[in-house]
Amino acid sequence: MADVQAIILVGGEGTRLRPLTYGTPKPMVPIAGVPFLARSMERLYEAGITDVILAAGYMPKAITDYFGNGSRLGMRVTYAIEETPLGTAGALKNVAQHVTGRFFVFNGDILTSLDLRSMMEYHESKGGSGTLHLIRVPDPSAFGCVVHDDQGAVSAFVEKPAPGAAPCNDVNAGTYLLEREVLDAIPGGRAVSIERETFPKLIASGKRLYAFVTDDYWIDLGRPENYLTAHRDVLSGLMPLLVEPGITGDGARELRDKRSIVEPVHLDAGTSIDPTATVGPNVVLGRGCWIGAGAVVRESVLWDDVRVGPQAVVEESILASGVRVGAGARIGAGSVVGHGYTVEDGLEVEEGSRLSDRS
Ligand code: GTP
């Protein structure tokens, strides 16, 4: 698919992931130790797509510093940085000068096993202006429903239908394959939403859009609970991303004493775990994490250089880089702790807390 370009939308502020996104833009949030965007790029490379445009806006330097011109990955990466957010279609219009033909569009926060080559074959067989990846869900009320006939021809879009009033269960899964002409339907110079404005307008003007419904693994990483679920699914192998489930990562090879580990876990290099601690199941420890004697860390993702003091407990939570959890402290389930924050010795952090030096 060397002739197809990819545009990845990475300009959102990621408000729902705060305070993580105060210090790291959402696309650079790690999945099992690697920035999610790097994992997405790898997937494109494997599908033979090497010409990528990143439509950024919020904290773009973290992205440009990491990927540069893409040559390290064997890719060509072009950036468009928005001064003010242009929305999901406005961002595409903004990069129109770099688009030479047919292109994929990816929401930058979707983890999926979708096979891009199959989507391309389907698109070519249908011959429409665009193909939209859809996923069937039991309750579509939090999503954008896409109504289509048996042949896949899309007829309507219904954003976030009231519970019980949804016209169908197939929802927009955030990957599109579009012909260049679609860019002509997007007005320039203002924010435009592709789901709410551009797609409905295309249908109304007689252009054909097709639904590509699959039962792939699919999750939006933009909410803390989904971020943890995604890790659980990656660690269990439900979402194929790591080589083998169990104890993975460079830190696993360094591990001398496995008594403290409850599989599955992913350990990055330089992690230090006291043999009397309990780590797992479903735990990711980033580079240089330190877990003290008798501490318990379960169902949680810890970024780099996090220290969990002796007898502390961390459950179902996300701790950004540099967090310190004091001796005997307890982090309640559903908590998100921002970069460099210190939780004092013995403190009981309520379930669902958001802690950061900025809030
Ligand atoms: P929330 O603030 O938590 O809703 O996150 P978000 O700002 O990322 O919004 P949302 O999850 O709806 O965005 C879906 C995808 O589109 C993400 O990958 C965003 O980075 C991206 N995105 C959203 N708005 C814009 C925009 O105005 N410009 C660009 N370039 N990307 C955007």
pLDDT digits (tens, 9 = 90+) for 112-138: 999 999 999 999 999 999 999 999 999
Instruction: Name the segment(s) of the chain with CATH classification 2.160.10.10.
Output: 224-355
Question: What is the token pair recorded at 149?
Answer: 């006939």
| Whether the CB of 107 sits within 6 Å of ligand 1 | yes
Rounded CA-CA distance 25/38 in Å is: 13
Give yes or no for residue 205 having a pLDDT over 80.
yes
Rounded CA-CA distance 41/28 in Å is: 12
8 Å CB contact between 147 and 196: no
Q: How far, in Å, is the centroid of ligand 1 from the Cα of 338? A: 20
Query: For residue 213, how many C-alpha atoms fall within 13 Å in the half-sphere facing its CB?
Result: 17
pLDDT at 243: 62
End-to-end CA distance of the chain: 46
pLDDT at 358: 79
Give yes or no for residue 275 having a pLDDT over 70.
yes
Query: 5-220 has which fold?
Result: Spore Coat Polysaccharide Biosynthesis Protein SpsA; Chain A (3.90.550)
Angle (nearest 5°) at CA 64 between 61 and 66: 105
| Whether the CB of 20 sits within 6 Å of ligand 1 | no
| Whether the CB of 88 sits within 6 Å of ligand 1 | yes
Give yes or no for residue 259 having a pLDDT over 90.
no
8 Å CB contact between 185 and 201: yes
**Cis amide linkage into residue 224, ω under 30° from 0:** no
Task: Give start and end residues of each alpha helix (H) in 256-307.
Answer: none
CATH code assigned to 224-355:
2.160.10.10
Pocket mutation for ligand 1, best pick of 10, 21, 95, 226 (most atoms within 8 Å of C-beta): 10
Residue nearest to atom 13 of ligand 1 (CA): 12
**Residue 248: pLDDT band with limits 50, 70, 90:** confident
Rounded CA-CA distance 55/75 in Å is: 16
Span 292-324, pLDDT tens digits: 999 999 999 999 999 999 999 999 999 999 999
Q: Which atom of ligand 1 is nearest to the CA of 109?
A: 18
pLDDT at 300: 98
